[in-house]
Structure 1
Amino acid sequence: MKNLFAVVLLLTGFLGFSQFGNQQPMQVEPVKWFYSVEKISETEFDLIFKANIEPEWHVYSQFTSEGGSLPLEFKFENAGADYELVGTAAEGDTYTEYNEIFEVDETFFKDELYVKQRIHLLKGDLKAVYGKLTYQVCKEVCINGDQEFAFSLTGQKAEVKKKVMTERDAELSSALVLSLKNTHYLENTEEQKGYWEVFVLGFLGGFIALLTPCVFPIIPLTVSFFTKRNENSTKGKANALLYGFFIVLIYLLLSLPFHLLTTINPDILGNISTNAFLNAFFFIIFLFFAFSFFGYYEITLPNSWTNKMDNASNIGGVIGIFFMAVTLAIVSFSCTGPILGSLLAGSLTADGGAMLLTVGMGAFGLALALPFAFFALFPNLLKSLPKSGGWMTTTKVFLGFLELAFALKFLSNADLVMHWGILKKEVFIGLWIVLFVLLTLYLFGVYRFPHDGPKGKLSKGRLGLGILSGVFSVYLILGIAGVNNLRLLSGFPPPSFYSLFPGKHESDLTIFTDMEEGMAYAKENDKLVMLDFTGWACVNCRKVEEQIWTDERVNEILEKDVVIISLYTDDRKALEEAEQFKYQYDNGSVKDIETIGDKWATMRYINFKTTSQPYYVLMTTDYEMLNVPMQYEPVEAYLSWLETGVANAKK
């Protein structure tokens, strides 16, 4: 257990998975280009550029405002000599949004890109038009891309012109290859721990559901039914085990539709975590669940469903047992529904989506099924089960308060995305303090809810939960007072910069934009090197610089131990003519290295097989990598990444 909040997650079966793990280098191709020609007359043609854009990614228009993300640009070879451009290129549907980081309105394409450029021929025998386009596509990270294009004006296929490599090109290309050591950090060595964590959390969620009044009393009744129904006790036990198997199967089947969703849109589950309206929807759903747990109303499915399933369960044999399991799932929904809602929201907002949901649902069903199988095998142990009573009501209220806490997390996600400013960090923590103080008072019997029974002596379990809740409340109060930094809750409240009292820490970091100068300075001063593959038009790059590098803990490490070399992969300033060259990739394609951005972007891809920015590599001046490269992550993950790298260097 990494932190205190994980304990709370385990108690509810809520799959709030950490996404702070280091990301592995990967090649992303979110834009696919297509070219076609429409003949208008013997001397006029429309050159049509189309592109399919992956969901959530944006390609910026030719006409987006200056000072923001990089616009789409076209360079037509021999324009003005062989042909002339008729007006500016016309664009299809675009969208405009205000970017608070750059403080400009940005215009962009999403899902589909369409651009049409008309040309008028100056040479009647012209057979093809060649050129190059450059663009920027962004999501959490930004990728700068370029494409060579060729349009045939004769109806035949036009091939992009092949470029001839020279010895000078090869020599300058070799300078981009870094003599990296410890390259195992670039391998995809991420451990698949997520599924086990999901399984454990889903299982504990199912165990919590067993303690609710909708499920717990059914255990002895159902097991007794199976063992007494058949004179042959062995057959009765076999049927009870089959009943348990069907319970697991039903919950596995409930996750099947989400796998079908991913075949329609692979990103649909991952998009939930950043979609403001879906997060707001989860907020409302969790409120609804919470007040159900408090006893103000019951969440039930239509009686007709229950009656039909109950009638079907009377059918003999295997089919009847299956429908008995379905009946259990439906009848217990008023108690299991809120926990399944947590399971659904938690898994769909984590990497892994539908598969994580299947693992979690299977574990949830297994926890429900085990008691039926266990007590069927050992029916005499049924007498040892505790009687249902007030402790079940306490469990439901406890879960209700936690549902409210999670509801605020989803509202916070929406608030951060939409910049509503209603749940700043202090407000969020203040509301949590109120919730856990109220929970503490309830557990100590200060007040009651509508479904509470007669007031009696507090049990040891209830007192223990009350003490735990009280300690957690004090921890929150000390955090908001500045006595501690609430590191145990990192990633759940809003980030530190999203505060009622914003302020930035001044720093004097050592930053170079030239590779050779930065490496020489680091070697001279015995410091580590952080390659910062960044961009002028990269929103998340600015967030890291303004919100993470200024964090006191991060800033201290960077100032003391690290030299930052910021390499701008979107810098379109031309290199000196003597520094320009051609680079040939392994697949045979050739790229013109004409700008500063071309150089650094190509270096990044050659050595780290990624096209994303921001992208951080921590290493020694001898090119010995110190940990896995980092992309955009929250401050706590970034801090942990730096600390690990520095510790590895000292070893």
Structure 2
Amino acid sequence: MIRISFKMLAVTLFAALHAAGVMAQGDLPVHFSVQQKVVSPTEVDVIFSGKIDNGWHVYSTGLPADGPTSAVLNTEKAEGAKPIGKLKALGREISNFDQIFGMKLRYFEKSVTFVQRYQITGKTYRLKGYLEYGACNDENCMPPTQVEFSYSGKGPDGAPEAKEEVKDEATETPVAVTADSLSADTAAVADTLSANIGGDLWKPMIKELQAFNGDNGNTDRSLLYIFLMGLVGGFVALFTPCVWPIIPMTVSFFLKRAKDKKKGVRDAITYGVSIIVIYLTLGIALTVIFGASFANALATNAVVNIIFCLLLVVFALSFFGWFELTLPSSWTNKIDSKASSTSGLLSIFLMAFTLALVSFSCTGPIIGFLLVEVTTSGSYMAPAMGMFGFALALALPFTLFALFPTWLKQAPKSGSWMNTIKVVLGFIELAFALKFFSVADLAYGWGLLDREVFLALWIVIFGMLGLYLIGKLKFQSDMYGEDKPMPVVCIMLGMVSFAFVVYMIPGLWGAPCKAVSAFAPPMNTQDFNLYHNEVKPKYTDYEEGMAAAASQGKPVLIDFTGFGCVNCRKMEASVWTDPQVADILNNEYILISLYVDDKRPLAKPMEVSLPDGTSKTLRTIGDKWSYLQQRKFGALVQPFYVPVDAQGNVLGSSFSYKEDVGEYVDFLKKGIEKVKN
């Protein structure tokens, strides 16, 4: 049997965690500085230097009109100067094909520099304008963001008096938005912005929304779920060949070596507590070493997801019996000898540590699977909570059997059933490996794991699991000499596995398959889809939509979106197409979609104050909706969904990008229940 050292796996896993750690982010994920550089007496460059937070990217210049927001420089005033050529993008440009937009997108990560050159034509010059850019990560997009500049200076002595060469003209062609792309009721949006901002519909609801988001208990439920997942993992690990046979031997040892039963029970409890301390320390170490922000980065980091996929495949093959994961034997020998030569609490702790080392070939893949799952949950305390649940389940039988020794006689004996558990876990880890590969596939746009390919692989995996459970498939680790029928429990579980396969088969032709929607790629990756259930917003103007809600007595779902928002299209394709979601949006809500990158100009630019005390000039209808989102709800990313009543009061927590149909339905129903109550 092949043996693989834990050192190689540990180095790989921890290197992946370290590479995914990110710095704490401010309010904006992209930070630009602007400077003027005199190239010659007649030429000057305006340079925009951007630092991009990890996980985010800024789109390049000159993308097609129906794509995301390109970087565009708008020159509002150029007295005694004129632009030379177009805006140039400098840096390491990445080019990938995007399936949502059906085009190749170009963008920058980490850093980018945009440069616009001007020719000085007058004795003095004055430049004023702004750079507009778009930024996204794997979950959200920023609205088109502006970086303003204003410079003046002297030109050549012999030049004529300065005159305005360019006015209100962009040096790049902006993204074209036609009235046909919007609903007819917004073809002519009223530019009564001052009156709107002063009205009740625009009143800030930031604190109220924060209260809903803070009270919805998602974090607490998430940690409870992680704890329960760890608890289940620990109980599963108990019934493996590396742990179960050790329990009666260890408990008997404590009871026999003690002078009285009370001391034996006390030693067994100490042994159990030591197991908890060891595994809990591992979970806390992950959190302390990599910081509070690393978990969020893991959820969307493509390279890390590939590594996790490969790790789970390795763990699965180990459970199938192809090879055995082992720790260096010198570790076990040293700890065991230390435990024998010491006494008291330290001796018991070292014995518990020996158990952790000896049982690694069975517990290692379970711990690895658990850590991979919890570290991609985005929760700061997830590793510690998961390890606490795992250790508690692992330590519990040592204490219980010490308290009630007669239970040992009733405990099932070691046998082939423990290997069956290992193989079943192998199938489960193999299935979950595809989930992590799917994240990387979507991020890089490879198109290797479309939805029907994913479902086909899951159908094969769970079909083979069913065959194994009913005894029609054998592995090298199984006892071939035994020709006994499978236990009834295995037969029943095999039937469940086959039923799950039958449930997934219609998904190959586009059926929603809600039970796997959180794991499978989004519906828009399906090449052959016989299912269509589109949702279109009734209104794309805030005031008109709110007036309709007041007249019809319905709640409102405000959808802050964008023509160039990739993840907005993903939500519409994979979540809004669900029949239950579509029914609620079409019949229970007034759906208002506000496009923050709508380029149609307002009648007159307007300067407004932002919540942080800075000011911003609103020039387009998209600027207006972006300002509404920031002023009223304190948010800037898209997609961003928030339920409100006809007076603009929030009805529940907000929802961002998450392709989870069940959670989105619960989110919508809470808003409706709030109105009814």
The alignment's TM-score, normalised by the length of structure 1, stands at 0.81
1:595, CA displacement in angstroms?
1.4
Is the counterpart of residue 566 in structure 1 residue 593 in structure 2? yes
Query: Amino acid of the residue matched to residue 218 of structure 1?
Result: I
Give per-residue Cα distances to partners, 1:133-172, cap 9 Å, x unaligned: 3222111221122234467989xxxxxxxxxxxxx98655
Partner of 1:312: 338
User: Letter of the aligned partner of 2:328 in structure 1?
Assistant: P
- Report the counterpart of residue 165 of structure 1 in structure 2: none
Instruction: Give the C-alpha shift of residue 555 in structure 1.
Output: 3.0
1:439 to 465, 468, 485: 465
The 2-side partners of 1:75 and 1:493 are apart by 42
Q: How does 1:7-406 map to 2 (within 5 A)?
A: 28-36=27-35, 46-75=45-74, 78-81=77-80, 88-93=86-91, 94-117=93-116, 131-139=129-137, 140-144=139-143, 145-149=145-149, 171=195, 173-175=197-199, 177-178=201-202, 184-187=208-211, 188-191=214-217, 192-231=220-259, 236-256=264-284, 258-260=286-288, 262-263=290-291, 268-317=294-343, 318-352=345-379, 355-379=381-405, 381-406=407-432
- Asked if 1:410 corresponds to 2:436, the answer is yes
**Mapped partners of 2:534, 2:295: distance in 1:** 39
**Matched residue of 1:575: which SS?**
strand
Moved more, 330-339 or 392-401: 392-401
Q: For the Cα contact (< 8 Å) 1:69–1:136, is it kept in 2? A: yes
Are residues 233 and 57 of structure 1, via their aligned partners in 2, closer, same or farther at CA, if it must alter by over 3 Å?
same
Q: Out of 596, 618, 623, which is 2:643 matched to? A: 618
- The alpha carbon displacement at 1:43 in A equals 7.4
What SS class does the counterpart of residue 512 from structure 1 fall into? coil
Contact 2:459-2:504 at 8 Å conserved across structures: no
- Partner deviation per Cα, 1:588-619 (whole Å, 9 max, x = no partner): 32222221111111111111110011222333
Q: Which amino acid in structure 1 is aligned with residue 543 of structure 2?
A: E
Instruction: Provide closer, same or farther for how the CA distance between residues 85 and 399 of structure 1 changes in structure 2, counting only shifts above 3 A.
Output: same
1:184-236 Cα distance to aligned partner (Å, 9 max, x none)? 45422231111111112101211111111111121222233334445466555
What SS is found at the alignment partner of 2:78? coil
Instruction: Report the residue type matching 2:335 in the other structure.
Output: M
- Residues 180, 625 of structure 1: 8 Å contact kept: no
| 2:468 and 2:474 in contact (8 A); partners too | yes
Q: What CA deviation, in whole Å up to 9, does each residue of 1:567-602 have, x standing for no partner? A: 22112221113xx43212344322222211111111
Q: Find the residue that maps to 2:431 and give its secondary structure.
A: helix
Instruction: Give the 3 Å change call, closer, same or farther, for CA 362–525 of structure 1 in structure 2.
Output: closer
d(CA) in 1 for partners of 2:399, 2:243: 15
Are residues 196 and 90 of structure 1, via their aligned partners in 2, closer, same or farther at CA, if it must alter by over 3 Å? same
Give the whole-Å Cα distance in 2 for the aligned partners of 1:408 and 1:458: 32
Q: Is the CA contact (8 Å cut-off) linking 2:201 and 2:648 kept in structure 1?
A: no
Structure 2 contact 140–638 (Cα < 8 Å) conserved:
yes
Q: Once structures 1 and 2 are overlaid, which stretch shifts more, 372-381 or 290-299?
A: 372-381
Against the structure 1 CA distance between its residues 381 and 99, is the aligned structure 2 distance closer, same or farther, given a 3 Å change threshold?
closer
Check whether the contact 1:177–1:603 (CA below 8 A) recurs between aligned residues. no
* Alpha-carbon contact 1:180-1:624 (below 8 Å) kept: no
Question: Per-residue displacement from partner, 1:41-100 (whole Å, max 9, x unpaired)?
Answer: 77766544322211111112234444322122344564333x555655543312222333
Q: Judging changes above 3 Å, is the alpha-carbon distance between structure 1 residues 176 and 130 closer, same or farther for their aligned structure 2 residues?
A: farther
CA distance in structure 1 between the partners assigned to 2:56 and 2:573 by the alignment = 23
1:599 and 2:624 matched: yes
Name the residue aligned to 2:529: 502
> Contact between 1:35 and 1:151, CA under 8 Å: does it hold in 2?
no
Inter-CA distance 498–49: structure 2 relative to 1 (3 Å threshold): closer
Residue 451, structure 1, aligned to residue 477, structure 2:
yes
1:497 is displaced (CA, Å) by 4.0
TM-score by length of 2: 0.79
- Kept in 2, the 8 Å contact 1:426–1:480? The answer is no
SS in 1 for 2:327: coil
How far, CA to CA, are the matches of 1:428 and 1:88 in structure 2? Answer: 44
Q: Residues 417 and 625 (structure 1 numbering): CA distance in 2 closer, same or farther, change over 3 Å?
A: same
Contact 1:534 1:567 in 2 (8 A): yes
**In the alignment, is the contact (CA less than 8 A) between 1:182 and 1:626 conserved in 2?**
no
**SS in structure 2 at match of 1:372:** helix
Distance 2:151 2:370 in 1: 52
Give the Cα–Cα distance (whole angstroms) in 2 for the partners of residues 273 and 58 of structure 1: 16
Between the aligned partners of 2:307 and 2:516, the Cα distance in structure 1 is 24
For 1:533, give the aligned amino acid.
F
- C-alpha change, 1:434 and 1:106, in structure 2 (3 Å) is closer
Partners of 1:362 and 1:529 in 2: how far apart? Answer: 43
**Identical-pair percentage:** 38
- AA of the residue aligned to 1:627: G
Contact 1:71–1:136 (CA<8 Å) still a contact in 2?
A: yes
Q: Residue 252 of structure 1 contacts residue 361 of structure 1 at CA under 8 Å; is this kept in 2?
A: yes
Between the aligned partners of 1:508 and 1:221, the Cα distance in structure 2 is 63
The residue identity in structure 2 corresponding to 1:51 is G
Is the 2:466–2:497 Cα contact (8 Å) retained in structure 1?
Answer: no
Query: Contact 1:290–1:400 at 8 Å: present in 2 too?
Result: yes
How many Å separate the matches in 2 of 1:412 and 1:42? 55
State how far apart, in whole Å, the 1-side matches of 2:623 and 2:304 are: 39
* Runs of at least 5 residues in structure 1 that lack an aligned partner in the other structure: 1-25, 155-167
CA deviations 1:104-159 (Å, max 9, x no partner) are 33322211122345566677788x976533222111221122234467989xxxxx
**Stretch moving more, 401-410 or 84-93:** 84-93
2:203·2:632 contact (CA, 8 Å) conserved in 1?
no
1:509 CA displacement: 4.1
Q: Are the aligned partners of 1:548 and 1:554 in contact in 2 as well (CA < 8 Å)?
A: yes
Cα deviation, residue 300, structure 1: 1.5
Instruction: Look up the match of 1:544.
Output: 571
C-alpha change, 1:43 and 1:600, in structure 2 (3 Å) is: same
Counterpart-to-counterpart distance in 1, 2:418 and 2:60: 59
- CA change 1:443–1:173 in 2 (3 A) is closer
- Provide closer, same or farther for how the CA distance between residues 171 and 403 of structure 1 changes in structure 2, counting only shifts above 3 A: closer
Tell me how far apart the structure 1 counterparts of residues 146 and 115 of structure 2 sit (CA, whole Å).
18
